[in-house]
Structure 1
Amino acid sequence: MAHTITGKKKLLGRIRRIQGQTSALERAVENEDDCIDVLQQIAAIRGAVNGLMAEVMEGHLREHLAAPDVNEQTRLADAEAVTRIIKSYLR
């Protein structure tokens, strides 16, 4: 079973917290809050998204690349896909 299914409740909790943070950011901009407060909220959102990405990536690597039952061709194709995603994420 995929890690995004087995860890679904935890992942959804993280996602919902990120949604709350983005809503708070939107309110801060609408209310013309101080720039420092807006920047701090953006930094918090970025940290939360990075944490979510790391958690999903770790589960994926463990279950789809490091699993002993994955054949070499599948492992190489998946490694290539993960590499593309990481490069896109880091842009």
Structure 2
Amino acid sequence: MCPDHPEHTGHSYAPHKEDLLRRLRRIEGQVRGLQKMIEEDRYCVDILVQVSAVKSALHQVGLTILESHTRGCVADALANREQGDEKVDELMDVIRQFTRS
């Protein structure tokens, strides 16, 4: 639910919820695999490749949620002229945070 739009009964990512949860469970498994690799003293490069894969997978989850938020909460705020500027500012802040390395 968008905090500024109580009429919304769900989050904008709701249509993607099962896919997001599936992806996050897969990422959780990858992270456990990384822990095991370190416990087993695996080769550094192999570990780094897996770290990169986890980062990429998390980035994709974030992009999906970011797109849903933009098409949902932000688009609604702009269409209804309710706090549109505030929503765009919030969106830009989250994009800046999301794109930091």
TM-score bucket (shorter structure)? 0.7 to 0.9
Q: Which stretches in structure 2 are left out of the alignment for 5+ residues?
A: 1-9
1:52 and 2:61 correspond: yes
Q: What is the TM-score of this pair, normalised by structure 2?
A: 0.77
Q: Percent identity over the alignment?
A: 26
Distance 1:69 1:47 in 2: 31
Higher helix share: 1
1:51-83: CA deviation from partner (whole Å, max 9, x where unpaired): 001111111100112237743342221221222
Deviation at 1:18, TM superposition (A): 1.0
Alpha carbon RMSD of aligned pairs, Å? 1.9
Q: Which stretches in structure 1 are left out of the alignment for 5+ residues?
A: none
1:9-55: CA deviation from partner (whole Å, max 9, x where unpaired): 11101111111111111111111100111011011001101100111
Distance 2:89 2:77 in 1: 18
Runs of 4+ in 1 over 6 A off after TM superposition: none
1:90 and 2:99 correspond: yes
